[in-house]
Every structure is written in C-alpha cells, then in structure tokens.
Structure 1
C-alpha cells in the first residue's frame, strides 16, 4: 500500500485500528511472534550484585521489532541481554542497556546499604526453551555473564492473561507497520482526567519538535509515536525536597538519589505493565510539572518536565541518553552519582579518555592536522560556570519562582554562545577536555552539543550514534 493511501486509511481509523496496522507487518510477511517479558530483581550494594527471577509474562501485543535485526551490533550499555537456544547456544536476540541500579551503586548510599530494583528484559517469543543471559561490561570494556536463567515460554507458570489496559494509547504519528519502524511511546504522569487533553497536546508538540532536530528530522518517516496516560487524582508528580507528594500509577518523582533535578520512576513493574498496552521500543515519560528536570537511562526510559520553559531541550536531551546511549558532555553541574576515579575509556560513543589520540573513536570525523587534545576557552568557561552554579544552587535552596531559574539558564546559554562564537575550532571535531562530569581526563568531540549545554543541535558524533540506533530498529519500505 502506498504511504499516502496508508495515511488516509489511518486517518479514517480509530486507535484500535491504528494499533492493528502498526503491530503487524505487511500482509506478505510472516506474523510477528508474541512479546515475552522477564521481570526480575536486581539487588546488592557498591561491591556486589545479585539477580532473582520474578515472573515471565506474555505481553498483550505482538513483538514490535524487526525480526531481521534481532542482534545488537552497536556495542553500547553497561549491560546486555542475550537470548540463546538452550540446547545449541545459538544467539537468537541481544540488546545493550543500562540500569538505575548501575547508577545507584555509585552513590554514597550504596557503600552503606543494600537495595533492590525491579528490572525487565523483553524479546520475541521463541518456539523452543531458551537461556536468557544478563551480561555486564568489565574494566576492559568487554561483556561477561553476570546472570543466566533457563526459560520455557510455554511453561505453566508463564503469565498469559492480565488486567485490561488502564488507559488506551493514542496514535500521535504512524508512519507504517511497527516491525519496520522505531516505536516511541510517550507516557504521561501526573495528569488528571481533566488534564488528558493537555497531555495529548503536549506530547504531540514535543514529538513534533523532536523531528525538527537532526538527525531525527531526516529520519522522521522511520518513527511511530504513541501517547498514553493513566489519570491521577492530583496534577503533578512528587517533589519530596519541597514536601510535595502525589500518588500516580507510574510513581515518577524528582530528587532521585538526592539530585533536585533528577526525575525517574523506580517502579519498573508498574511502568512495564502500563507500557505493554502500546507498541514500543523506547519510552519517554512527560511529568505534568514546570520545575526543570528530567532523566534518561539507556534502553530503559527517559523523562522530561513537560511544562518547563526548557521542555523542548529536556525532551530531546534526555531522549539522547535513553535512545542512543549518549553521555552527558557537561561537567560543571553536580550529579547524584560518581563516575569513578580512574579514567577508563567510556562505552558511550560521544566521550573518550583519549588514551590513543591517533585512533580516537570518532576518527572518521577529525580533519587531518587537528590537534588532539583540541584547544578551547576552558578556563574562561569554568570561571563563569562556577559563578553560575552558585546562583543556581541559591535559587533552588530558596525555592525561588521557576521563572528566575529559567532566566538564569537563558542568560547562561547566551553567554556560552557568545564565548564560543569567537573561539578557535568553533565547528571542528576534535577532542575538547571536559566531559562526562569530569573537568579533566575526559573529552567531548566538539565545543558545543545538545549533550553539553542547552543549545539546539547535536554534534556530528552524537548524530552519527543516533542514526546507528535508528538503523537498528527501522527498515526502509520496499
């Protein structure tokens, strides 16, 4: 069916018909397998970690992914899931990911206490018993097995029937059948029943903005976007540092690990039980708040304060973490967890320890003759940042109106743009020291990037990493 005819048919159909169209491949293709989800507990502390099976679930919708791209070749994430034939060891499916536990275990709390976090992995239902392996990246950047479990997806204790969907997904953008597209699910949290039109409007606006930013702009036709929100009794999500507490189905909140701007949910099971009612490979949660904040975990989900003056930036920046495993390139803002003292080579594609300048990981973008490391006005930038961060902390401590914080961010970006406008190597790809939350020992590829400050464009290296992820999940229509 030509795309124009598909779009017309979709426009005449309801959400149920859109789900059917997007969840199935073209009529000539074999039917998609069911979606299997394993929920498990990941626990431990700074020195040790443990895994325990909770349950195996057959989700309500077919597998949304391309069966011809079942093996992940991007080499990203702290962890990787592998599904192998239990008898032959043949690799059937793999994906890299990171976890909230992985971040938590670098906090001060993890040095004094144990905690457990619910996690999930999803894969297309096999027709035979399999072994599911969770791998972990070591200090050599190599994966080794951390846990494995044998799974028969036809066993008697597999969950095959669940409660009806608590809310219906809304198709926001449908470009074609799910197996040929990247499926992005935008979830709302902190939206009352009366707020639902506001959620849909905001989700559409932010999705539209995402596709104005390269390389998403050029690849917009490779995406489907869905919206879904389970209504809450009160508007907004919890912000414990200001004694604001709200109940919600997802449990999203500010102040994760003590960072006032870090927004996540630690209720993974609730998240997956809601998300399973829409086709998805990636999730962004919009919180119905205006306080600046967000978060992103590679292969898990991202979050953004939907009503912030900086919602556009937050939506795209945090999605960059979740979607492509991009590291933060800034280093003057305080963070809730530590990166460690030794400057080992990061797995993230956009930062480096530059141990071998002649073979820097983004070598293909570096022009001959470019010095590595590459000079930039680092001292001047850091002097300004120290003063800026002091004001920022004072505004939060005094719980000043969000408009004052927003103005501070705007002024800071204007100052940074002015500094870089006259800096050498303004648009060049090189190795600029200061990245990954560290002032020394880590380098980013360009002076400015959406992952470095609140500017509006990704650097060439980040754009390339995003494109590689799109390629993993989408397939051009024939």
Structure 2
C-alpha cells in the first residue's frame, strides 16, 4: 500500500472513529448572494444543502455570546421565535464596500451560513451592526430543511474523481468537543501533494507553539485537504500570472498586491464539506508575501514565503478571533470614511472614554491613557521602509530581498521599542486599525501590529474566548 493511500485511509478512519459525531445532527448550509454598493445591499437565497458530514460543533454551545463580527446569523423557530443557533461573522462584501470601487459600482458575492439541522422549520436571520454598533436584522429566509428542494446526497464535482478524504494532522478527540481547523491547499499539483502535507504540519506546529494556542493545543483537531491542479501556484494578476486553481484563490484582491483571498465561496464550501471544520486556513503554493483573513469565513497565507509562520498565525488571528489589524503605516485598499466609530474588534478602540476602555481589566492603575510611545520616531522610520518596499515591488525584485527588508524593519522596531518604559505596558497606544490617529491598540507590539512573535495580552484573551465557544475544555485529554 503506498504512502498516500495509507494517509487517506488513516484520515477516513480518524473521522469514522469519532463516536460523538454519530449522535450529532446533520450540517445545513444556506448559500446566498450578497450584492450592492457602498450605500445599499441586498440578499437572495440560492440553495439549502445538507452537507455530507454531521455537525462538528458542541450542541451545548449553540448561542454566540462573544459579540464579534460585522454580521450575525440567527436561526430561530419559525413559529415561536425561539433562538436555536447564532454565530458572529464578517464578509468579503463588507470589506469590498469600503473600497473606492464600491462608491461607483455594484458587485455580488457568494456567501454561506452553516448551522446544525433543526427538527422543525426555521427562520434564518442575517443581522448587521448599525451606527450604534448594535445588531439589527437586514435579511430573513424561511427554511424547511426537510423540503423537497433541499440538496442532499451530493455527488462530488466533476473535478473530483471521488469524495476527497482529509488528512488527519492532529486529532485530540471527537469533533463536538474540539475546535476543528481545516487547512486547505490551493495551487498544488499532484507532485506537490507531499509538500502540501509537510507544510500544513509545519505551520500547524508553529501555531501551537504560539500562545495562547500553545496552552490550548489539546482543544483542537486539525485536518488538511487539497485538490491537485495543473500548475503550481495561484494567480497574481498584477504580474500577468493567471493560474486555474480549485479554490480560485489569488493575489491583488481589491487592488492590494499582498492581499490574498478567494471570492469563489461555492468552490470553497464544496471542498471543505468533506472534512469536519469550523475554521479554514488556505495555503497558497506561492513564494510571494501575502495573505488575508475574514472573521468566521477563512484565512490565507503564502505557504512558501520566508514569513509563512507569521502570515499563518497573523491571518488566522483575523479569521478565528476577529482581531483587528493594529498596523497603520502600510497602504491598504480600504477608504476611511472620516468617522471614528468604536470598532467591534476586541483589540482596537476609538477611546471615547478612557474610564470605559474595553480592555480595562488588563490596565494597571496609574497607566496613562492614551499611553505615550515613540510614535514620531517610528513613523519616520516606517515611511522610509515603505518607500523601499514599494520600490522593490515595482522593480519586481527577488522575494529574498523583500524578506531581508522585513527582517531589517522588525529589528529596527525591536531596537526602538526595547528602550521605551512602556514596552510591556497594557494601555492605549495611538495608531491602529489602518489609522495613524483616532484609534488605539492595547500594547506597543503584537503579532497584529508587526511581524513580532507574540500576541498582546488583549488579543490572547480574545482568542481564548473563541476557543471556549467551540471546545469543551478538558474533554478527550
């Protein structure tokens, strides 16, 4: 028996051996279209699908109390209105509508919500945050999961010879007791499959060597899955590179050369449904620095880049815990609307009232708010760094030169911050959420701010809350 067949059979056995899965309800997926522009948006149902695998989550934690995401899905009893299931999430559409393109044109994006199959007709509600940061209903759909038009017993797409079997990277117990992370590969040929598995294992090891994931490693299962493609790598349109890949992942999303996403939600879900999952990270078989992360949807990372370890963890922070980017000197595709609304993300604030700082429990008495730091010196150095970075990309220089520049920039920041008396202080440091002023981050450095190796105390706590939502601490250890 060859090695790859052995791995596939082992993965299948691992899934089949999870006893609690048998008692779980089926997994329902509602696919819909989300369209509009900067001012208006609309929704339309496409289909309801019963996925091949049972619901992977803990049926005792069906209600989300973490208050994360731009949106919330609620599943309620159609007759009584009883809340049966809820989860916060964000969308690619929400990011797109903050770009300049959305001010003069319409676009539509595929989206999905998944929930455990109910035993009665339900109403699925999509909620969105309003100007007061409160959720309000923007769309409803009545769903009878036993209706004749619900899609069941799907056959694999033509691109799949048979239903794919996930590779078991880490299995610590039954899926309902654990957080299930699925690592998908895009841009890997048949000859690259061993490389994909090795990279998935390496990056998973790095994730669980990073706190707070390190301390909670036994609360996770990790699976890997990839469909082979004809060419190695994914598309990078800004350089004239166009590759067909199973998930359609590509660089240059919204005009940002380093932003990597897929907008083919159908392809993503039709592959992912063959593994137990609650979170997805897509590895692209590319060297060029890049990645992306959408809370509750997926994250991506350039698997062959020198900074792949950092990219994997940073982007997973967005996807898994809804963490905001804390950096503000790098160019991004988003357009500021000039307002300073309090972010819902747990690690950024507009600091309207220092006495009500959202991470106040981590702030020691006597800490000044805002908290002083060498902001001007940092920004002067960052302007020079960004100019050099742009020049390297414009000249299409080797990726090794970009990696060296990143190392130089991090060393410079570390040297500057190490001298600051507040280097380890939790406070409110101005400069976050892509804005130099008006937004504040909890600590001077964090994986969400620069390419350092640690999450700040606030981000670590926010990650822990999501782990608690999806896992049953102590189970299966």
Normalised by the length of structure 1, the TM-score is 0.96
Distance of 2:434 and 2:17 partners within structure 1: 44
Deviation at residue 339 of structure 1 after TM alignment: 4.0
Structure 2 counterpart of 1:300, from 297, 301, 304 = 297
Deviation at residue 21 of structure 1 after TM alignment: 2.6
Distance of 2:183 and 2:143 partners within structure 1: 30
- Superimposed CA distance per residue, residues 16-72 of structure 1 (whole angstroms, 9 cap, x where no aligned partner): 1111234x418xxx8100000000000001110000000000000000000000000
Q: Which residue of 2 aligns with 1:441?
A: 438
Distance of 1:171 and 1:100 partners within structure 2: 29
Q: Which residue of 2 aligns with 1:235?
A: 232
Q: How do 1:132-147 residues align onto structure 2 when only pairs under 5 Å count?
A: 132-147=124-139
Q: Which residue of 2 aligns with 1:82?
A: 74
Structure 1 counterpart of 2:256, from 247, 259, 277 = 259
Residue aligned with 1:451, SS: coil
Q: Which residue of 2 aligns with 1:103?
A: 95
Q: Which residue of 1 aligns with 2:12?
A: 16
- Superimposed CA distance per residue, residues 302-338 of structure 1 (whole angstroms, 9 cap, x where no aligned partner): 0000000000000000000000000000000011112
Deviation at residue 296 of structure 1 after TM alignment: 0.1
Distance of 2:285 and 2:336 partners within structure 1: 31
Structure 2 counterpart of 1:25, from 14, 20, 36 = 20
Provide the aligned length of Structure 1 versus Structure 2: 465
Structure 1 counterpart of 2:396, from 391, 394, 399 = 399
- The alignment status of 1:379 with 2:371, answered yes or no, reads no
Kept in 2, the 8 Å contact 1:21–1:176? The answer is no
Q: How do 1:88-237 residues align onto structure 2 when only pairs under 5 Å count?
A: 88-164=80-156, 165=162, 167-237=164-234
Distance of 2:164 and 2:251 partners within structure 1: 24
Distance of 2:283 and 2:225 partners within structure 1: 10
Q: Which residue of 2 aligns with 1:6?
A: none
RMSD: 1.3
Distance of 2:329 and 2:96 partners within structure 1: 20
Deviation at residue 132 of structure 1 after TM alignment: 0.1
Residue aligned with 1:352, SS: coil
Deviation at residue 271 of structure 1 after TM alignment: 0.2
Q: Which residue of 2 aligns with 1:409?
A: 406
Deviation at residue 12 of structure 1 after TM alignment: 13
Kept in 1, the 8 Å contact 2:291–2:301? The answer is yes
Distance of 1:43 and 1:406 partners within structure 2: 38
Distance of 1:223 and 1:201 partners within structure 2: 19
Structure 1 counterpart of 2:39, from 26, 42, 47 = 47
Deviation at residue 391 of structure 1 after TM alignment: 0.6
Normalised by the length of structure 2, the TM-score is 0.96
Q: Which residue of 2 aligns with 1:57?
A: 49
Distance of 1:53 and 1:387 partners within structure 2: 49
Q: How do 1:324-403 residues align onto structure 2 when only pairs under 5 Å count?
A: 324-403=321-400
Deviation at residue 277 of structure 1 after TM alignment: 0.2
Distance of 1:223 and 1:163 partners within structure 2: 29
Structure 2 counterpart of 1:289, from 282, 286, 291 = 286
Residue aligned with 1:38, SS: strand
Gaps of 5+ in 2: 1-5, 157-161
Residue aligned with 1:64, SS: coil
Kept in 1, the 8 Å contact 2:298–2:319? The answer is yes
Distance of 1:76 and 1:340 partners within structure 2: 21
Kept in 2, the 8 Å contact 1:375–1:424? The answer is no
Distance of 1:193 and 1:166 partners within structure 2: 16
Gaps of 5+ in 1: 1-9
Q: Which residue of 1 aligns with 2:313?
A: 316
Residue aligned with 1:404, SS: helix
Distance of 1:11 and 1:231 partners within structure 2: 16
Distance of 1:339 and 1:32 partners within structure 2: 44
Q: 1:121 to 1:411 in 2, by over 3 A?
A: same
Deviation at residue 14 of structure 1 after TM alignment: 1.7
